[in-house]
Chains A and B, each alone.
Chain A
Amino acid sequence: MSSIYTATTRNQSGNLTVLTVVFLIAIILPILFFGLSYLKIMASYQGQKSAIDVASLSVAQDLGTIVIEDANVGFISLSDFAPNGSATLATDGYPLTVRSINSLLATTRLELILADKLTDPILVNCANADYNRVMTAKTALVTALQAAVAPGGSAMDKDGNIIRPYDKALNAYNAVNIKKMVDGTTNIKANSLTIELGYVEDLVTNMPIPRPAVYAELSSADQEGGFYKSGRNIPYQGKAFVFAAGGNSAALVDFRRYKSTIAGLPYQIPTVVCCRAEQVYNETDAISGSRVRSVTATSCARPACLVDTKPKAGLFGISGGVPLNMTPYPGNFYQLLTHIDLYNCPADAVYTPINDDYPISSTALIAVPELSNRKHPPFGHLMRLAFFDWLRKAGPCINVSSMFTAMQAPADFTAVASTTAMSIDRNGVFTIVAVPFDPLRAIPASHKQLYAVTGGAFPSANGAFDVFLKDQVRNLGRVNGGKHGGEPLANIQANSATTSVSNRFDENVSGLGTAPNGPGGTTIRPSYTATDAIAVELKFRERTLPPLNYTP
């Protein structure tokens, strides 16, 4: 019996061990290997994703710094920049402001709204002309941005530094260590990095809509939180406005929502960066040996678009004292701008200083395109034109209600020793201010800007008043805007130079000062910080009867 039991039973020890080993080898280990491989793939992809994210952010950051020069609107970019760029120097030695395309679009849209609501065809003409200029500038900027992000492409920033977004993105991509989790080697596939500009629909910009919102003339869906949305047409009066995507800083956006174009848009203004790169992995492992796989990763980012919300429009000032016998006597800016007698004077001359500021330079008579190309338009129309130019200079962040209030607020125009002016503070609020007027340091007429005069506009007891209009912000930029690029003038110095210039309607030439030249470099333009810089001046100058050359 003993042997029978012995024969029918097996040794119990060790059976479970074998089973465990087999189980481990057959099931657990493959799972483990698969898990490890999967982990490596995922980790390497995350490394690659991180690299492509860095690349797209790098491009997005660069895009916001690219500056180009447009002959009509000056320096433009995706961002606003204060006038402190060493490559944006005007010939007066001070830098010029860089305006963002969104700022230009928002300003033009506001211009159209105001012009339409004021039912003023002069302002409508001005706004339409600005729209055409901005569209041209927009096209140039889009072309420049797309050229910059192409392989080997480059552009310049406001300080003249050469920016190579593609090269920088490639370097940034390669700088990220993707090899950490790779057994073998890995490299980006040659020429596989592509950078494209497109859209992510409905991204909110940081460009504020007109204030108060009731003047924004858009639907609630066109904005969010008081800011325009990008990538959609927000038209006004048949004019299309598409804002560029951008925020206060470069940021990643969902690449699954990326689109190369948005169908139905009247024009494209793509700014969302989409980077793609293919990474080749040459791997080896104990089981499968060597193998090659490639993975494409995508990342999208919106560019950094800085917004300068502080209007630096300078002053819209009235100097010299409005004649006391002007009837009815204007009690505020609105009454002055619409005064029937002032309107009913033809401009005897519309000048532009041709080589330098007047009176250093001589002047040439010009026609005004927005005023039917007339050389002698009604003076009231020129005043409205200058008022428009001043608002344009202030940009999109003005408070429209505040403007109406200030225009109807009491203003003392009788003062001869001070300039009574409308000013715009950092919140876009308009106020009436008085700044000292020095008859020996009156502002000159800026080079290539508008300088108009109507003679004998108002009688006085001993003569008549000539009225001079200096619009220093008519033509913008270094090309068309002359020496000061269409910036307000500040820090006027007495003019010690003897001038030989003489016009029929000279304005006490010796009393006109000079705007000092800057040192070059990055010294900020004085008018950006000054509180008394003048953008537009309407000056009343009395001319007395010539003496009789005999004794009665």
Chain B
Amino acid sequence: MHKLLSLKLRSQSGASSTSEFVPALFILVVLFILPMLNLMPIALGAGFTYLVSHQAASRAAGQSSYAEALLEAEKEVQAFNGSAWSKLLQMSPVGGYMTNGFDLYTDETLTSGAGTTTSYGPNTPMTVTPNQLANIYEYKVRCTYSISPFVNLSNLPFIGSVPGIGQPYIMSMVAHKAVEIPESLSGINNAIAFTGGVIPFQLDGMAGSNTPGLFTGPGPGLWNRPSIYQTAEDAGRTILDSDVLLVDARNKGWQSSNMAVATGNQIMIDYYASGMWSNGIDAASGLPRRTDADGEVGRTAFMGYPIGSMIGRLEPPTGGTPSYLKLGKQVWSIPVGNSTSNLKMALNEGSGPQLLPTNGPSIYDDNAGFMVVRILIAQ
């Protein structure tokens, strides 16, 4: 019996510690483990609150207008608010734009001096014109969440009213991001236009001048025939030589062009008078007798060509027959010959220019002005 009884009874040692274990465990769990468990969501929540603030600021910074920035930041925050992490951590947005728990500000910081920062917002664009030379601009996003305790200990005495343990903890984080398109700040609530730029002028200063490489109209200008080269090329001619000369109306000799002309060549000429091209003074009016290269109508001189007209000749042969280089006659086919000759030009007056001018007065002395002459030798 004694043995039987001894089998049924267990040792009483440790009974007192066992009886203390339950309250000790209760205290440990309630006062330490559960509060510590509740602190974990706060730590995680802090990280997520900053992360979503940063993400929203980054999204806003790349937008082309404040309106778009606000919209994109909202999308970013909403995506987090609906995520599993938000649900797991029992994070609820507090206030903010459209009660999504965030506010968007525009921070303007002076780059000089004390670097004072002015904050515009929340959720409204800047009210001043941005000055990028003097300031830097950042979007600032402030996210605020209420993080409920993982285990609700609100009914416990003493700790039941502690935020994060017995009551929701209000967490707020701020993130900044430099505005990537500063122009967006000036477009208050208007998206940047990526199209439709207006040009204030046209480079084609003359109507009809815009066929590349070509004169397409007579056009105003000093030259009478600016398309002289084009005419030659369009006629299938090869331009052998060209030059622009100044032919003095006072020259009583022939002015050499130093341009060689050979049999079969054609000479093409254009002129303009430099202010005046006159063949003396009109006795009646006392004014210069001004003409163009065609000369005076109805008055002739050397070779029967009009007075004041441009005439030309080829030398050799010396004393070759001069031609009337009439402005209206653009293409001048030279006389038949076998040699290469030098083209010479002069104003036509009296008995014509001298072959070998000598010192002394002449009929050319009271002339004035000069012609600017473009000469083409073509074939």
Contacts and interface: CB of A to CB of B under 8 A. Distances in A.
Nearest to A463: B246
A133 interface: no
A338 B204 contact: yes
A456 B244 contact: yes
A2 B2 CA distance: 11
Contacts of B250: 548, 552
B97 interface: no
A371 B213 contact: yes
B3 A2 contact: yes
A387 B361 CA distance: 52
Interface centre among B183, B205, B239 (most CB of A within 10 A): B205
A548 B248 contact: yes
A381 B242 contact: no
A378 B213 contact: yes
A9 to B, nearest CB: 8
Nearest to A379: B226
Interface in A1-29: 1-2, 5
Interface in B143-166: none
A504 B242 contact: yes
| Range, interface on chain A | 35 or more
Contacts of A5: 3-4, 7
Interface stretch (B21-29, B216-224, B335-343): B216-224
A538 to B, nearest CB: 15
A340 B219 contact: yes
Contacts of B195: 214, 216-219
A374 B213 contact: yes
A344 B221 contact: yes
A458 B223 CA distance: 10
B181 A225 contact: yes
B286 interface: no
Given A118-B199, A120-B210, A122-B212, A376 B246 contact: no
Given A213-B64, A338-B203, A344-B223, A378 B209 contact: yes
A457 B246 CA distance: 12
A119 interface: yes
Interface in B306-363: 357-362
Contacts of B192: 213-214, 220
A344 B222 contact: yes
Contact of B205 (A338, A347, A404, A460): A338
Contacts of A377: 212-214
Contacts of A118: 199, 202-204
Interface centre among A118, A338, A456 (most CB of B within 10 A): A456
Interface string B1-17: 00110010000000000
Interface residues of B, number: 70
B222 A458 contact: yes
A466 B246 CA distance: 12
A408 B203 CA distance: 12
Given A343-B209, A543-B246, 9 more contacts: A216-B195, A217-B197, A218-B195, A341-B222, A377-B213, A380-B206, A460-B274, A464-B246, A550-B357
30 contacts: A114-B199, A118-B199, A118-B203, A119-B202, A120-B204, A216-B197, A337-B205, A340-B220, A343-B206, A344-B215, A344-B219, A345-B222, A346-B228, A348-B242, A372-B211, A372-B214, A374-B233, A378-B226, A381-B212, A408-B200, A455-B243, A456-B246, A459-B222, A459-B272, A463-B246, A464-B246, A504-B241, A549-B357, A551-B360, A552-B250
Nearest to A383: B203
Interface centre among B3, B201, B213, B274 (most CB of A within 10 A): B213
B203 A384 contact: yes
Interface string B285-314: 000000000000000000000000000000
A226 B179 CA distance: 11
Contacts of B214: 372, 374, 377-378
Interface of A: 1-2, 5, 113-114, 117-123, 125, 209, 212-220, 222-226, 334, 337-341, 343-349, 368, 370-378, 380-381, 384, 387, 400, 404, 407-408, 455-460, 463-464, 466, 504-505, 543, 545-546, 548-552
Nearest to B220: A340
Contacts of B180: 225-226
A120 B196 contact: no
B255 interface: yes
A15 B353 CA distance: 144
B183 A213 contact: yes
Nearest to A9: B7
Contacts of B197: 113, 117, 212, 214-217, 400
B227 interface: yes
A550 B204 contact: no
Contacts of A113: 197
B215 A346 contact: yes
- Residues of A contacting B: mostly: mixed
A1 to B, nearest CB: 8
Interface string B183-202: 10000000111111111111
A550 B358 contact: yes
Nearest to B365: A552
B275 interface: yes
Contacts of A459: 222, 272, 274-275, 372
Contacts of B201: 334, 338, 404, 407-408
Contact of B374 (A375, A387, A455): A455
B111 interface: no
B118 interface: no
Contacts of A378: 209, 213-215, 226
Interface in B269-292: 272, 274-275
B253 interface: yes
Contact of A545 (B202, B220, B223, B246): B246
Nearest to A370: B212
A376 B374 contact: no
B186 to A, nearest CB: 10
Nearest to B270: A346
Contacts of B64: 213, 220
Given A545-B248, A548-B250, A548-B251, A375 B202 contact: no
A551 to B, nearest CB: 4
A368 B242 contact: no
Contacts of A549: 253, 357
A346 B211 contact: no
B213 A380 contact: no
Given A504-B241, A550-B359, A376 B230 contact: yes
Contacts of B210: 119-122
B362 A552 contact: yes
A121 B211 CA distance: 7
Contacts of A343: 205-206, 209, 219, 221
B370 interface: yes
B213 A456 contact: no
Contact of B274 (A400, A407, A464): A464
B205 A376 contact: no
